[in-house]
């Protein structure tokens, strides 16, 4: 049975994330049991950074993936994070101040379907758990391809429903019952953590998302399941 449509209008999504911005990082770590840090490290490692790259982090939120790009060895030379949720960016900016990363990471308010970035001007594009929240994924993937330099890489993390029978049942129970309860308790926002399982259930399968990336012109695309298939890491590159 197909999942019910999930509203992803920009104003609704930005307002929802702004409402939980102050507790967003805490909830990420609690709800993933801290594994989210390893997912981000794995995504950045897939870029094979050399220390010279300009990295664009879309749907950057509170900038955790952007920070991971600078914490890598070697680190990205320059990182720009883009998001349309102003409160999330403010939390991210405060994080950069605490970490002394204001000179290395710039946060910009903008829309992933109309990036304020020149053609072929970045070496890598990342997205951490944000692609399912956009109304037009094809447009975002087209924009990623446009701004990447030839040979540039992408790394996209997104939640998924696992397919292994025992794991699938336990995951769906946690996702539909435990996660929304914890989310409401900590964030004091009912809608955000009801939206999360609904949006994951409505997201394309890994094969369907790979097809979207391929239509945008990406090559060498891989969809790698992480943590029993609860998360996928999508990688690819712009043809050299």
Cα gap 201→4, rounded to integer Å: 9
Which neighbouring-strand residues pair with 155?
Answer: 126, 235
CA 168 to chain centre: 22
3-state secondary structure 111-174: ECCECCCCCCCEEEEEEECCHHHCCCHHHHHHHHHHHEEEEEEEEEEEECCCCCHHHHHHHHHH
**Which structural domains are found in the chain, ordered by start?**
10-238 (3.40.50.150)
b/e string for 49-82 if b means 16 or more Cβ within 10 A? Answer: beeebbbbbbbbbbbbbbbbbbebeebbbbbbbb
Judge residue 112's burial from the number of C-beta atoms within 10 Å of its C-beta, 0-12 exposed, 13-18 middle, 19 or more buried: buried
Tens-place pLDDT, residues 31-77: 788 899 999 999 999 999 999 999 999 999 999 999 999 999 999 99
Q: From CA 136, how far away is CA 56, in angstroms rounded?
A: 19
Give the pLDDT of residue 58.
98
pLDDT tens-digit series, residues 126-181: 999 999 999 899 999 999 999 999 999 999 999 999 998 899 999 899 888 887 78
């Amino acid at each position: 049975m197909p999942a019910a449509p999930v509203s992803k209008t920009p104003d609704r999504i930005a307002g929802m994330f702004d409402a939980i911005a102050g507790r967003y990082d805490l909830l990420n770590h609690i709800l993933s049991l801290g594994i989210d840090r390893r997912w981000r490290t794995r995504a950045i490692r897939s870029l094979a950074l050399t220390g010279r790259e300009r990295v664009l982090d879309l749907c950057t939120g509170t900038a955790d993936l952007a920070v991971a790009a600078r914490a890598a060895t070697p680190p990205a030379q320059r990182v720009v994070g883009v998001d349309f949720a102003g409160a999330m960016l403010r939390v991210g900016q405060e994080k950069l101040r605490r970490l002394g990363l204001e000179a290395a990471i710039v946060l910009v308010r903008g829309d992933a379907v109309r990036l304020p970035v020149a053609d072929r001007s970045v070496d890598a594009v990342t997205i951490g758990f944000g692609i399912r929240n956009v109304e037009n994924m094809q447009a975002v993937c087209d924009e990623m391809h446009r701004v990447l330099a030839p040979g540039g890489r992408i790394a996209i993390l997104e939640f998924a429903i696992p397919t292994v029978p025992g794991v699938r049942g336990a995951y769906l129970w946690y996702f539909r019952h435990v996660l929304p309860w914890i989310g409401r308790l900590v964030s004091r926002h009912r809608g955000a953590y009801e939206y999360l399982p609904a949006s994951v259930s409505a997201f394309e399968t890994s094969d369907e998302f790979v097809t979207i990336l391929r239509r945008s012109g990406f090559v060498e695309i891989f969809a790698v399941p992480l943590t029993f298939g609860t998360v996928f890491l999508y990688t690819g590159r712009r043809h050299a």
